[in-house]
Structure 1
C-alpha cells in the first residue's frame, strides 16, 4: 500500500500576520499538520501543492520551515502563484530533487509509484503555464517510467472550473498538457490546488482532483458577473491510497478539526 497526503494553499505568513488581514493561516496550517501526524497508517509522503506562502518572502519561508519541522512524515513542496522560486529553493537546500534553476519540476519514487511534480507558476503573475521544456521533460518521464503507475501533482488545475474569477488565473495551456498525456497510459490521476475548493473531473481519461486550502475556501459563484469571495469553511486535506489490489487510488477528502464522535455505528 502507498499513501500520499496532500495539503495545498497554506499561505504561511510572517509570525503574527494574518492572511488577507482576516484569518490566522499559520494556526490553521499547524492544525492540519497535527491532523496529518495522527493518520494511521502513516502516509508515505506529504505533498504540499503550492501557495506555500502568501507573498514569497524569506521571512515567510523561514516560518514555513519552522512549522514543517513538526510534521512527522517526509514531505515535498512545489510552488504556486504566491511563491518565489528562488526563495523557495533557498529555504529547502536539503531537498536535492529541486532543480538548481528554472522551473521547480521534479520526479521521485514513492513506494511503487512515480510522483511527477510540475511547476505551473509564472514568475510575477497569477495564471499558470507549462513551458515547452517542462512538457518535453514530462513526456520523457512518462516514457521512461511506462511500467510504473504515475501520479502528477501541480498547482494550477488543468481545467476550467466555471467560476469566472478563478478561470482568469487558470492553466493557460491545458490543451498542450492534455496532448502529452494522451500519448501515455500510465498516469493514474492528477492532483492540483490553487482553487481553494474540492473539485473532481477528467482530463481525457485521467481523473483530476483539487485539494481544498487549509485557510479560506473560495465561494462557488458561477454567474458571469460573479465577484470574488471566500468563506471560512472547514479546512481540509486529501488522502490518496493505493492499496495494491488496483493500480488506481481511492482519494478521500478529510476535514481538519474536532467533531462529535466517534459513534458506534457506520
Structure 2
C-alpha cells in the first residue's frame, strides 16, 4: 500500500494584496495548488496512490469557501483515492465542518478512526485556531484513550498536526506531548505522522517511527535575533506499507530558492 503524506497547504483562493509583514510574504507566494498539482502529476506517473494523508493547516485563514474549493480540487486530482485529514492551527473547526464536511457548523475536534484490513489510522486533532502551539483538553485525551483501546488488536498509524520533539524546530513542541506518548505505550503504533514545522524530519520516539513532512507552501528559516527568512519550498513523504508496517519511506523536497521576505518575528 502506498500512502502519500502532505501538510501545511495554507490554501486561499486569493491571497490578500499586501506589501508588509506576514501577509506581504503570502502575497508574493505562488498558489500552493501549483506545486501540489506538479507533485501529484509526477507521482501518478511513477506509482499508484492508495491513500493520501494531510496533517493540518489545509487553509491559511479557515474560510468556508476555501475548504469547499480545496476539497473539490483534491477530488478531481486524486479521483477515488481516499483522503484522511487532521486540522492545524490555521484551520477553523466551525468553518471546516461546513465547507469540507458539508455539515452543520461545530467547534468539536475533528477526530477520526479509519479502518483497513491490515491497520487502522487514527486522526487526532491537537489544534486550536489562533494558538500556534496547539491545545488539547482532557476530553480529547479521553477520546484518544478510547480510540486506542478500540483498535488494540490492529496496527495503528497516528496522524496529528503539531510536532512532538523539541530538537526538531525552534518552535515549541506540542505541550500535550508527554501525556500523548504515555497513552501510546500499550499499543501497536506503527508510525506517527505530523506537519506544522514546514521542515522534513524523521526519527523514532520510544521505538516508533516518527515522520514530519515538509509544507506544501513555504518555509521559515531562522536567521537569529528574531529574523526569519521565508522561502517558497514544498515537498511530500511517500510511505510503503506491508502488513501494516512501514517498509519504505521516501521524502521529496523541492527548493526553488525563491525568497519571499525576511521578517522580524520578535515584534
C-alpha displacement of 1:7 = 0.9
CA displacement 1:145-198 (0-9 Å, x = unmatched): 22211010011011214533x22xx3111111111112x230011000011111
1:109-258 mapped onto 2 (5 Å cutoff): 109-164=115-170, 166-167=171-172, 170-182=173-185, 184-219=186-221, 225=225, 227-233=227-233, 235-244=234-243, 247-255=245-253
Q: Answer yes or no: is the 8 Å Cα contact 2:214–2:253 preserved in 1.
A: no
Q: Which residue of the partner structure matches residue 22 of structure 2?
A: none
User: What is the CA deviation profile of residues 75-125 of structure 1, one whole-angstrom value per residue up to 9, with x for unaligned ones?
Assistant: 12221111111111112336x9x9965111111113411000010111332
Unaligned runs of 5+ in 1: 258-266
Q: Quick one: distance in 2 between partners of 1:30 and 1:247?
A: 28
Length-normalised TM-score, structure 1: 0.82
Q: Is the 8 A contact 2:8 2:215 kept in 1?
A: yes
Q: Do 1:47 and 1:76's aligned partners in 2 also have CA atoms closer than 8 Å?
A: yes
Following TM superposition, by how much is the alpha carbon of 1:136 offset from its aligned partner in structure 2, in angstroms? 1.7
SS in 1 for 2:181: helix
Q: Any idea what SS the aligned residue of 1:250 has?
A: strand
Alpha-carbon distance in structure 2 between the residues aligned to 1:83 and 1:3: 27
More strand by share: 2
- Report the Cα distance in structure 2 between the residues aligned to 1:99 and 1:43, rounded to whole angstroms: 31
Q: How does 1:41-52 map to 2 (within 5 A)?
A: 42-52=48-58
User: Any stretches of 5+ residues in structure 2 without a counterpart?
Assistant: 18-24, 256-267
Contact 2:214 2:235 in 1 (8 A): yes
The count of corresponding residues between Structure 1 and Structure 2 is 246
Q: Secondary structure at the match of 1:155?
A: coil
Aligned to 1:35: 42
1:157, 1:192 within 8 Å by CA — same for their partners in 2?
Answer: yes
Residue 263 of structure 2 aligns with which residue?
none
1:180 match: secondary structure:
helix
